[in-house]
A and B are shown apart, each in its own frame.
Chain A
Amino acid sequence: MIPTEPIGSIPRPVELIKAIENLGDFLDPKLEPLYEDAVRDTVKRFEETGSPIITDGEQRKYHNFWTYCVHGLPNTSAEGFKIPFTAGHVRRMPRLTTGPFRYRVYADQYLDAVKRYTTMPLKQAVISPSALSLMYPAEEIPGYSRQEFIDDLLREHENEIRRCLAKGAQKVQVDFTEGRLAVKLDPSGNLLNSFIGLNNLVLSRFSEDERKRIGVHTCPGGDRDSTHSADVDYADLLPSLFELRAGNFYIALTGEKDRIRVLKIIREYLKPDQRAFVGVVSPIDPRIDTPQEVRDRVLEAAEYIPLEQLGTTDDCGFSPFSDDLSTTRETAFAKIKGRVEGTQIAAEILGIG
């Protein structure tokens, strides 16, 4: 069979989003029943899609896939860097104001919650250290050097991955959406390489077997059906990307204008011990992909990527930012179902179903 996995996020229920807005505190105990209902419903729906591996839909991640681990830290301010999206909106990163840098939340706690409702294989997404590295301001923080920050950052990231693996996550996915942004910021590729180096500093600390359970997700961003770096050529990203010492790569593909070209790049640079999960549905496209369409995309990818190194995924999470209402839960699960079914059909055609 061809493995198929989600990226992670699923749109939150509207009542949960509204309740958080009304209460103004995402940690308010009154929200607990809503969180639980959201996770339980997400699990149920995931299982109904036939997904062999599921997530909690990031229902409890606040505020988004990037800042969840540092949201609300007392030594941060909201005046971090802005990430503009093609939809015209901007998402701001938090900025570190004082040291030391510590996560406030580790993603393994989301596993605790979801495991109450399922025994299926679980995947947990974590943010990459390179994304968080942008929290340190341009000027040095007195008494807390950048080097110290980087060391702390690497340790926190490693710790988070290890905690998730220890909690039984079948896959831990590092969201590396800033990879393409790095190319955009520095076309020379040095920034990207530094990002790669930063991530590898952590990935190198894991064993070969552990790295087989670690994956890296890259996409041009997805928020309110818009991106932040879709204009960056994969050719500038992928060669360096596969230098990451991870066993799995989740690569948005559906939205690419020239998928074949990307597939060729993937084929060229994918290392033997790496698997490429190519995106076969696009979360920012409101249309429900049919299994047949998915099938065709899988078959297309199979022409370039060895079957033993091929997997399918969604181009991105359906709601990386918790307040994103652009996609409904129904649409998300319908698309996931289409992916799963289409992948299965393709696998059968390819004789590995």
Chain B
Amino acid sequence: MLLDENEEGLLRSVALQNARAVLLARERAEKETVEAKQRVTRILESITDGFYALDKEWHFTYLNRKGEEILSPLRRSRDDLMGKSFWEEFPAFLGTDIEKNYRRAFREQATVEFETYFQPLDQWFEFHIYSAPDGLSVYFRDATERRRSLESLRISEGRLRAMFNQAAVGMAIASLDGHLEQLNLRFSQFLGYSSEELLGKSFLEVTHPEDLEKTGEKVRKLISAEIEDYTLEKRYQRKNGEIVWGMTSVTLLKDQQGRPEKFVGIIEDITTRKHAEAAVREGAERLQLALSAGHLGDWSWNAATDLLTLGPEACRAFVLPKSSVVSWSALREQFHPDDRQRDLAAVAEALAKKSDYASEYRIQRDQSVVWIASRGRGVYSADGAIKGMIGVVQNVTGQKEAEKTRSRLASVVESSDDSIISTGLDTVIMTWNKGAERMFGYTAAEVIGKSVAILIPPDSEDEEPKILQRLLNGERIDHYETLRARNDGTLLNVSLTVSPIYDSANNIVGVSKISRDITDRKRAEEALKDERRILELLNDTGKAIASQLDLRNLVQTVTDASTALTGAKFGAFFYNVANEQGESLMLYTLSGASREAFENFGQPRATAIFSPTFKGEAPVRSEDITKDPRYGQTEPHFGMPKGHLPVKSYLAVPVVSRSGAVIGGLFFGHPEPAKFTERAERLIVGVAAQAAIAIDNARLYDGAQREIAERKRVEEALREAQDQLRRHADKLEEQVAERTARLRETIQELEAFSYSVSHDMRSPLRAMQGYSDALLEDYKSKLDEPGQDYLKRIRRAASRMDLLIQDVLAYSRVAKGEIALEKVKIENVIHDVIQNYPALQADQALITVHSPLPPVLGHEAYLTQIVSNFLNNAVKFVSPGTKPRVDVRATIQGDMVRVSFEDNGIGIAPEHQAQIFQIFGRVYSEKQFEGTGIGLAIAKKAAERMGGFVGVVSELGRGSQFFVLLKRAL
């Protein structure tokens, strides 16, 4: 289908217009191409390489200026060559590498670069051929110089390579990642690998692991240009595992831009030197070790510089820093001033005589002095000139001290009071100190060389072998107590300490014995034992005294203990019992002898010997009483009675109570003289004091016991009385109950009686009243005045009787009736009473109730009784012509209410105030004031029945205040 004509025309128009634009664009492009070509041409003309282009027919299409210049020896210009065939113009190229490469480049459309020697020009040329489908572009340059340079370089390189390979030191070139690329024979041999084995290995692979880190650090710094090169002594591992040392110097090969390309290393085998250094070091260390073991410090002096180099021990000795170097004169400043000149002289003499130098000097260290011994030997040159000196120093302070100690020890041994001797294993005495001389009486000359057996008592002959055996068995023999004999035969108590003597091989070669005279100690021990015994006795005595309350046992204990304490043959306690003459002691307890031995002699009296004791004076102690001037002065015996146990040693101590009374005395005797010591006396005095206290306590205890017994007896009596009382009370209760029952019975009978009385008695009275009224009414005209008066009296009497009976009944009802208390408004009761009694009305009396009156707990009927009685009495008992006035008030008193009725009546004398509350307890007669005399008794009873009471406060002629006290109703 065709386009619409118009459409087609437009399309064509557009296309053609576009074609013109395309053409213009192409022209412009071509122009640009031409310009580009021109630029290219300019470039090509300016380059230093020759350039020509050949079409695919091998015709020259272009040759630049430089190319023309290069080819000028061939007498070819550009113009000559344009459009000409390359091969025709240069037939010499045929068959050469040039032709081969040209054709290959074109054929393969590849870029080919090569160099070739062009013999006609005697020149090397370098060709770069770039092919295109339409031909070749060839860059070429004269490479002759470069070739020559290369050749020179090659020769140099060859020489270098030879040097490299034949060098006496290892050489290697490695890439920047450490892989070996080139190495020489020496390097291979150094490591024990073949070259092939090493190539490609990293130099780190053959580096000892312990040197990897430092190697890596150097490499890093080298690469980062921190250093230009480095030299390192490091270890390598040979193929066979052997470690070798190499002095490794490494630098970087850089390219023309200065960028690192390769590592170049030179490795010198220093293994032997290292071993030698190690050996020297080891030797030096051994020397130092030896010096250190012997505490010797080495030093060397350089005569030229006068400087001393001090080894470690020497530095330590002089308290200087390690490896100090000081001048001799400076070092001498540390010496004691007295030693400096001497040391200087010693050095000078040694140098002068070419002999050894020896000196000892002190150096001050803080508060102590250090001794230094110095030895040295001069070092001389071949011509005998002094070069210096080498030597050692040693801190000999210890040795000096040891010497001092040794001599001190020797002094100690010699000055010791103890015997310090030594024997061989054959018991032969080898050493004998002054102490031994003093102790045993032998001189050293007398005993050295003799057996130690001369000191051993005959009955202890086997002791020495036993001691020796124990020692040889490794036992310690310390403080072995035994007897030894002096030269005069006397025996000594000694304490032996026996120690082995060792030789340097630690073998026992002898025995050292230290003997201490313990004779005194033994005596002291005995005394101590004795003392202990006495203390125990005292303790027991004290306990016994403290624990005994039985008097007799107590005193016996005291007597026994104190007899034992004094060492008496016999002892006794006598009570101080004064007779009429006041001079008698009663034997109470005895120890060490029987009573029978003293019974026949009666009681001791207050003789001159005994009197002090009776009187509680000081103790009496005599070594021989028979020689005492006081002895034998009293009749009848004038001394001891015949048959009396013999007594020479005598001791008597009073026993005095706390109150000062002499209770008695302790007496002791012994047939031998001087048995009782002052100490024994003191002890017995103490015992006597304790005994006195104990006796007092025992007596008190006795008293207390008696008192307790008495109290028990009284308590028993009291209990008995209480029982009787209880029995009596029970009996009374029975009686009360019995009587109460009888009373209740009686009351019931009375109630019955009162009931019958009330009815039975009131009926006739009512009849009397009725008939009296009837007579007066019906027969008044027939009766005279007296007769009427008689009837009126009869009627009044009957009325009175009736009233009396009613009141009695009322009383009995109040007295016995069962009531229940309740809250009552008493104010209402009062108003009701007032309302019900005409005499209480306002025209008759002025009754004021002071409201409000609190409610009370009561019985309304009983309250009515009380109120009516009080009010009616108040209005009745007034003076004639006086209008009764009553004030009714109430006050609260705790939980009670006091209701008072105060009147203006005639009052009541005090002596009548009690009786008015009794039945028929009237004060005035009926003629004076009407009434039964029971009203207040009823009120009283009623109040009592309600838990309250009534009372009156009155004064004759001044009115009365009757009150009732009742429980308050809450």
Whether A138 and B17, one on each chain, are in contact in the complex, defined by CB atoms closer than 8 angstroms, is: yes
Residues of B within 8 A of A194 (CB): 15-16, 18-19, 22-23
Whether B2 and A84, one on each chain, are in contact in the complex, defined by CB atoms closer than 8 angstroms, is: yes
Residues of A within 8 A of B15 (CB): 133-134, 182, 185-186, 191, 194-195
The stretch of B24-32, B395-403, B722-730, B783-791 in contact with A is B24-32
The stretch of A35-43, A143-151, A169-177, A235-243 in contact with B is A143-151
A198 and B18 contact, Cβ closer than 8 Å, known pairs A147-B24, A273-B133? yes
Among A85, A151, A191, A193, the residue within 8 A (CB) of B12 is A191
A187-228 with Cβ < 8 A to chain B? 190-191, 193-195, 197-198, 200-201, 204, 208
A204 to B29, CA, bound (A): 9
Residues of B within 8 A of A85 (CB): 1
Among B2, B7, B22, the residue within 8 A (CB) of A201 is B22
Residue A290 CB within 8 A of the other chain: no
Residues of A within 8 A of B26 (CB): 197, 200-201
Whether A272 and B133, one on each chain, are in contact in the complex, defined by CB atoms closer than 8 angstroms, is: yes
Whether A134 and B21, one on each chain, are in contact in the complex, defined by CB atoms closer than 8 angstroms, is: no
Residue B407 CB within 8 A of the other chain: no
Whether B14 and A81, one on each chain, are in contact in the complex, defined by CB atoms closer than 8 angstroms, is: yes
A193 to B20, CA, bound (A): 11
Among A82, A84, A195, A201, the residue within 8 A (CB) of B29 is A201
Whether B18 and A133, one on each chain, are in contact in the complex, defined by CB atoms closer than 8 angstroms, is: yes
Residues of A within 8 A of B12 (CB): 185-186, 191
Interchain nearest-CB distance for A195 vs B (Å): 8
Residue B461 CB within 8 A of the other chain: no
A165 to B623, CA, bound (A): 151
Residues of B within 8 A of A195 (CB): 15, 19
Binding site of B, secondary structure by majority: helix, strand, loop or mixed? helix
Residue B331 CB within 8 A of the other chain: no
Q: Mark each residue of chain A from 151 to 191: 1 if its CB lies under 8 Å from any CB of chain B, else 0.
A: 10010000000000000000000000000001001100011
A137 to B18, CA, bound (A): 10
Residue B738 CB within 8 A of the other chain: no
Residue B226 CB within 8 A of the other chain: no
A57-112 with Cβ < 8 A to chain B? 81-86, 88
Whether A190 and B2, one on each chain, are in contact in the complex, defined by CB atoms closer than 8 angstroms, is: no
Whether A84 and B1, one on each chain, are in contact in the complex, defined by CB atoms closer than 8 angstroms, is: yes
Whether B22 and A137, one on each chain, are in contact in the complex, defined by CB atoms closer than 8 angstroms, is: no
Q: Mark each residue of chain B from 663 to 681: 1 if its CB lies under 8 Å from any CB of chain A, else 0.
A: 0000000000000000000
Whether A185 and B19, one on each chain, are in contact in the complex, defined by CB atoms closer than 8 angstroms, is: no
A273 to B131, CA, bound (A): 14
Among A82, A86, A154, the residue within 8 A (CB) of B25 is A154
Residue A136 CB within 8 A of the other chain: yes
A198 to B3, CA, bound (A): 24
Whether A198 and B22, one on each chain, are in contact in the complex, defined by CB atoms closer than 8 angstroms, is: yes
Residues of A within 8 A of B132 (CB): 208
A82 to B4, CA, bound (A): 9
Residues of A within 8 A of B22 (CB): 133, 150, 194, 197-198, 201
Whether B17 and A190, one on each chain, are in contact in the complex, defined by CB atoms closer than 8 angstroms, is: no
Whether A134 and B133, one on each chain, are in contact in the complex, defined by CB atoms closer than 8 angstroms, is: no
Residue B717 CB within 8 A of the other chain: no
Residue B13 CB within 8 A of the other chain: yes
A298 to B480, CA, bound (A): 135
Q: CB-nearest residue of chain B relative to A185?
A: B12
A313 to B778, CA, bound (A): 184
Interchain nearest-CB distance for B10 vs A (Å): 5
A136 to B13, CA, bound (A): 11
Residue B8 CB within 8 A of the other chain: yes
Q: CB-nearest residue of chain A relative to B14?
A: A138
Whether A134 and B14, one on each chain, are in contact in the complex, defined by CB atoms closer than 8 angstroms, is: yes
Residues of B within 8 A of A (CB): 1-4, 7-8, 10-19, 21-26, 29, 132-133
A138-B10, A150-B21, A198-B19 given. 15 additional CB < 8 A pairs? A82-B7, A84-B1, A133-B14, A138-B17, A146-B18, A146-B21, A150-B25, A186-B15, A191-B16, A191-B19, A194-B23, A197-B22, A201-B22, A204-B29, A208-B132
Which 10 residue pairs across A and B have the least CB separation, nearest first?
A: A194-B19, A84-B1, A150-B21, A198-B22, A133-B18, A191-B15, A146-B21, A194-B22, A197-B22, A185-B12
Residues of A within 8 A of B (CB): 81-86, 88, 130, 133-134, 136-138, 146-147, 149-151, 154, 182, 185-186, 190-191, 193-195, 197-198, 200-201, 204, 208, 272-273
Show 29 A/B contacts (Cβ-Cβ < 8 Å), sorted by A: A81-B7, A81-B11, A82-B4, A82-B7, A83-B3, A84-B1, A84-B3, A86-B1, A130-B18, A133-B15, A134-B11, A134-B18, A136-B14, A138-B10, A138-B14, A147-B24, A147-B25, A149-B21, A150-B21, A151-B25, A185-B11, A185-B12, A186-B12, A190-B19, A195-B15, A195-B19, A198-B18, A201-B25, A208-B132
